Amino acid sequence: MSLPVLFAAVGRRLGYPLFFVVAMEHMFLRWEEPGERFNIECTSPGFEPLDDEHYLTSPKPLTEQDLATGLYLRNLTPREELAECFMMRGACLFDHLRVQEAMECGYRARLLVPNNRRYDGFSVITTMLWHLLEGERNGTGPTYVPENPYQQQMMNWAIENLQRVRFLHARNQAPEPHESAAADDFFAALAHGELSLTD
């Protein structure tokens, strides 16, 4: 799934005080206990502790507005960690155009952490991608027309991501990914109020 998840799974079984921390489009681990605190960059070739200032600009810069949200560079709670796992899975499904399943992951992440704007944005862009694909399948064009600049931006990102995924699959001579019919069961349950967080 992700190297920080693998590192944490092993480290916690050894009793290490490890926490997930989110930077811009990146996750790393933090060792924190009374008297000792350092970051662990799981993608580096060896152990190289980097301070928080490093993640203000890498791998992508964080703005003052980003930091003001309180979403970045702090230890995540167990609930937030699970939400991040749903989001990582949703991103993988998104890249394979399994859009309804990606939407399910975004929905579950938002149930766990309702006030995370990253999750809200993912849900919007995933919904836009679903409308694009539905329009293609039906031959009608996009089935949703953006009503404001924010929605238009999300639609543009959905189009760019769709082009990117198709380019990569064409380059690798792989068949274009497609939806899993099993995802329909999720939306049926959701529509009828039969779905809960523990399902």
User: Quick one: tokens of 164?
Assistant: 């990117």
Instruction: Map residue 19 onto helix, strand or coil.
Output: strand
Query: Same domain, yes or no, for 116 and 171?
Result: yes
Query: Same domain, yes or no, for 61 and 89?
Result: no
Give pLDDT tens digits for 150-165.
Answer: 888 888 888 888 888 8
From first to last of its 199 residues, what are the pLDDT tens digits of the chain?
589 999 999 999 999 999 999 999 899 999 999 999 999 999 887 787 899 999 999 999 999 999 999 999 999 999 999 999 999 999 989 888 899 999 999 999 999 999 898 888 888 888 888 888 888 888 887 677 788 888 888 888 888 888 888 887 777 765 555 544 444 454 455 445 444 433 3
pTM: 0.76
Query: Same domain, yes or no, for 90 and 118?
Result: yes
Query: Same domain, yes or no, for 51 and 86?
Result: no
Query: Same domain, yes or no, for 172 and 101?
Result: yes
C-alpha to C-alpha distances, 71 to 25, 133, 141, 146, nearest whole angstrom = 12, 32, 37, 28
Query: Same domain, yes or no, for 131 and 167?
Result: yes
SS3 content of the chain, % helix, strand, coil (to 5): 55, 10, 35
In degrees, rounded to 5, the angle at the alpha carbon of residue 159 between the alpha carbons of residues 106 and 132 is 75
Q: Which residue blocks in 14-116 are alpha helix, DSSP H?
A: 64-68, 78-95, 99-112
Query: Same domain, yes or no, for 14 and 63?
Result: yes
C-alpha to C-alpha distances, 85 to 35, 56, 196, nearest whole angstrom = 29, 23, 18
Count of structural domains, the chain: 2
Instruction: Give the number of other CB atoms < 10 A from CB of residue 198.
Output: 4
Which structural domain range is residue 88 located in?
A: 78-191
Query: Same domain, yes or no, for 107 and 171?
Result: yes
Query: Same domain, yes or no, for 58 and 82?
Result: no
